Amino acid sequence: MEHTIEVKGLSKRFTMHILNDKVIHAIQNLDFFIKEGEIVGLAGKSGAGKSTLIKCIYRTCIPSKGEIIYNSKKFGKIDLAKADDYEILALRKSEMTYCSQFLSVIPRVTAIDVVAVSLVSKGESWGNARQIAKEYLSKLGLDEELWDAYPSTFSGGEQQRINVARAIISKPHFLLIDEPTASLDQKTKDIVINMVLDLKNQGTSVLCITHDPYTMEHIADRVIELKDGKIVEPALS
Amino acid sequence: MDNKEWLLKVENLTKIYGEHSVNTLDKTGPLFNSNQCPETGAIVACANIDFTLHPGEVLGIVGESGSGKSSLVNLLFFDLMAPAGSACLKGYKNDNTNILEVSNQQKRFLRNHKMGMVYQNPRDGLNFRFSSGGNIAEKLLMAGNFHVGSIRERASYLLESTEVPVPRMDETPESFSGGMQQRVQISKAIANNPPLLFLDEVTTGLDVSVQAKVLDMIRRLQQDLNIAMIVVSHDLSVIRMLTDRTIVMKNGRIVEKGLTDQILQDPQHGYTQLLVSSLL
Amino acid sequence: MVEEKKFHRQFNYAFIDERTKKEIRRKLLKAVCIPGYQVPYSSPEMPIARGWGTGGLHITLSLIGKEDTFKIIDQGSDASVNACNLRDFVKNTTDCDTTFETSKATLIQTRHRITEEELKAHQIMIFQVPQPEPLRGVERYEKKTREMHAEADYAKMWVSLYESFVRFGDIMRGAGYPVKVNGRYVMSPSPIPRWDIPNLSDAECLYLFGAGREKRLYAVPPHTTVEPLEFEDVKFKIEQFEGLKCEITGEQIAFLDELYGSDGKTTHVVNDSDFMNQIKEKERPIQWVNRYLTEKIEKTFNKN
């Protein structure tokens, strides 16, 4: 099967110019791949470089060295480490989504619209997009009263649901998730896990960070553990 | 990938005030932390600016005051004249005409049909002796609409979509609040459906709730009309909220450009790191 | 002989010196070549105050010859103080014939009116212009207005018409209604009533405009299009005088003056004094033909 993503020799170091050019090596020389329709779990202690790795792939961080070959459905093979900004933006719009640990939304946009906008940017009409957004939010068990409220005032769990809904509603080809089930109750956890598995069955590849053993066990086909920015053991599960 | 799609291409845009020597550009800039030439005293407003803007894209330009960010948009909107370098606009004269060098009449055509500008101070963009409707009418008249009824219809529509109470369209902007004046200015700027809009510090000086309303409106307009925008601001939260890509300027030069989330989370240049770490 | 006469008069024929006349004539040629364009000119001061018709006089005196017959009207009247004084001045400095009769005149200097009687190809009408710049009301800087003319940027003018409509429900320009000449320059027709505006267009005669204070002159050559600025749905209109007629002659199709009697009543009389005299004493002179007048005539006669 094709690899959706293939990482070769990936390193990221942060140079802090305002701290006398102090250098922090966040991740070093990583090699791994994710097959099409595979869910890879990313484990490790805080500060091991998990989030940095995901951000490098999403290109919120610029990798210092190495290649991230992404096999796009639409554009063919692209090295995400070197692709220009417009290519990245096009990919983010059409097939690669990132569900971050913290919800960062634009103030004064309703929960429905926050979720719907990812469909709208793919060309869906607002009416349809809102309809689909409602389905997702109700599946995730978000109180209907909150749909037209502003998410910045929501509790951690409620924000998390919106974050998940926003990332998976557009059925991405490649999904990056950072702690999707933290601060969720058991029932919602299962729903989220099932939703991600659903996507997997439709061919989506997933890279998922989680500290939660339950989620890891039920979601991941394979686990990669990071320690001090290096891969500990590419364990098979 | 479809990189051929572009709207505005700016190459080597340079504007220097005063007499400059051959070394002026080499001895100014972020490395020297100065935009004044040590030899001649000339001021470099901006130098060697290169960037491309795609249709419907929102580009942020961030930097401290005096970094040349306002000069940059003022040059592109012909408020400042005689720069070196070139700027080409898609769909205008074979896509390869330097708009900085066309005749005044052509520049006025471009200002009316191809671009809009929203200034920090509404007095720069609006004529306070005319009513709000009249200010919008000016743009429509310049585009050849000489039908009062249809002018008023369009003006009402624009004011409505920028949330200015339509019954007040025949009042002068003088009697409006700052946020409302800013929204009238935006209505005027988009009156002829330009594909490109410049926003220069539009929310600076407005109080927080009004600022939020104006930003909401800009974002909505961008989504609905798919206008490409260049947003100039010293405020990183405005940039984060509105833009996909960002250019960071200092001492008249571009020090860094990239995806907005990358600029904010993994800034490469020392100055950008300082800027981001100063964010409240 | 000539020397003696000159000595006796103590000034040149037609008062101003030949070099100045040459200067003004050259600028007049330019003005005729670019209809509606304001040409700057230079000249010495006149023995009357600026603002009292010096611009008109400059043109008149530089054009007038011994064979000319001169007529001057002020607001339609041959006998107002200003008209009389200027007529005397021109007469004294040139010895040419003067007349009250429009049809007999070759040069007509005017303030604020065009004659009610149609002018012919051999006649020149010279306007005394108080403010030559039609854009001055919307832009105070001369540098800017010149740029606006150069680039045909008349948006501000249009906005002011729009504003007038919005505020008052109509375009409220009683006199000096802005016109576009030959499809290019927007021009101030000097403060003539709207009634006279259509007569500027496609006329047989030559119209010259002189502003002495600003030292600008401009022209509308014969058979040149002059269009009042109007919107597609808000049209230019001439004064209507609905149901009114001249108290003295009973005339209905002419620009009427409103007079207040000592008893507080208002009466109306024909503004053009020569036109009124012709109707009273001889026969009705041939009037201008334009569509606004035709409409008015139809309206008036259908009613009666």
CA distance C205 to A186: 97
The chain-wide mean pLDDT, for chain B, equals 91
The reply to whether B185 falls in a domain is yes
**In angstroms, rounded to a whole number, what is the distance separating the alpha carbons of residues B91 and B103?**
17
pLDDT given at position C144: 94
Chains C and A touch (3+ CB pairs under 8 A): no
Per-residue DSSP letter, B4: T
Interface touch C162/B105, C-beta < 8 Å? no
Provide the pLDDT for residue B22.
87
Is B94 a member of any domain?
A: no
Q: Does B273 touch chain A (CB under 8 A)?
A: yes
Whether residue B35 is contained in a domain is answered as no
B-proximal residues of A, 64-103, CB under 8 Å: 75, 78, 84-90
pLDDT in tens, C242-264: 889 999 999 999 999 999 989 88
Domain for residue B91, yes or no?
no
Cross-chain CB nearest to B146 (options C151, C152, C231): C231
Enter the tokens of residue B18.
């005063």
Identify whether B225 is part of a domain. no
Whether the pLDDT of residue C18 is over 90: the answer is yes
Which chain B residue has the Cα nearest residue C168?
Answer: B170
- Domains detected in chain C: 18-135+173-228 (3.40.50.11310), 256-301 (no CATH)
CA distance B265 to A60: 7
pLDDT at residue C195 greater than cutoff 70: yes
Q: Considering chain A, what is the average pLDDT of its residues?
A: 90
CB A85 within 8 A of CB B258: yes
Among candidates C152, C163, C232 on the partner chain, residue whose Cβ is nearest the Cβ of B130: C163
User: What's the confidence (pLDDT) of residue C3?
Assistant: 58
ipTM passes above 0.85: yes
Q: How confident is the model at residue B1 (pLDDT cuts 50, 70, 90)?
A: very low
C122, burial (CB in 10 Å: exposed 0-12, middle 13-18, buried 19+): exposed
Examine the pLDDT at A235 and tell me if it is beyond 70.
no
Q: Are B18 and B41 in contact (CB under 8 A)?
A: yes
Produce one character per residue of A183-207: b if its CB has 16 or more CB atoms within 10 Å, e if not.
Answer: ebeeebbebbbebbeebbeeebbbb
Q: Is B261 on the interface with A (CB under 8 A)?
A: yes
Is pTM, for the whole model, over 0.80?
yes
Could you tell me if residue B186 is inside a domain? yes
* Number of folded domains that form chain B: 1
Are residues C153 and B149, on separate chains, in Cβ contact within 8 Å? Answer: no
For position C303, what pLDDT does the model report?
Answer: 62
**B151: nearest CA in chain C?**
C162
Question: Which of B2-6, B137-141, B263-267 has the weakest average pLDDT?
Answer: B2-6
Tens of pLDDT, residues B92-120:
999 999 999 999 889 999 999 999 999 99
Nearest to B142 among C155, C163, C231 (CB): C155
B164-210 per-position pLDDT tens digit: 999 999 999 999 998 899 999 999 999 999 999 999 998 888 888 88
Q: Calculate mean pLDDT across residues A24-43.
A: 93
The more confident residue out of C282 and A217 is: A217
Tokens representing A212? 């939660």
User: How much is the average pLDDT of A187-196?
Assistant: 92
Is some CB atom of chain A closer than 8 A to the CB atom of B39?
no
pLDDT tens for B31-41 read: 898 989 998 99
Q: At what angle do helices B178-189 and B132-142 cross, to 10 degrees?
A: 10
Helix (H, G, I), strand (E, B) or coil at A233: strand
C165, closest residue in chain B (CA to CA): B148
Q: pLDDT tier at A18 (50, 70, 90 boundaries)?
A: confident
Task: Provide the pLDDT for residue C304.
Answer: 55
CB-nearest partner of B1 from A62, A87, A109: A87
Residue B82 CB neighbour total at 10 angstroms:
9
Whether residue B237 lies inside any domain: the answer is no
Say which DSSP state A168 is in.
H
pLDDT tens digits, residue range C140-181?
A: 999 999 999 998 999 999 999 999 999 888 887 878 899 999
Indicate the pLDDT class of residue A120, thresholds 50, 70 and 90.
confident
B154-167: average pLDDT: 92
Residue of C nearest to B104 (CA): C151
Domain of residue B187: give its range: 126-193
In this complex, how many residue pairs, one in chain B and one in chain C, have their CB atoms less than 8 Å apart?
51
Residue C7 confidence (pLDDT): 57
Q: How far is B223 from chain A (nearest CA, A)?
A: 8
Q: Compare all CA atoms of chain C with the CA of B140 and give the residue at the minimum distance.
A: C155
What's the rounded mean pLDDT across residues A185-209?
93
Identify the residue whose tokens are 């309303």: B213
Single out the residue of C3, C44, C43 nearest to residue C26, CA to CA.
C43
pLDDT exceeds 90 at position B157: yes
Q: Is residue B161 part of a domain?
A: yes
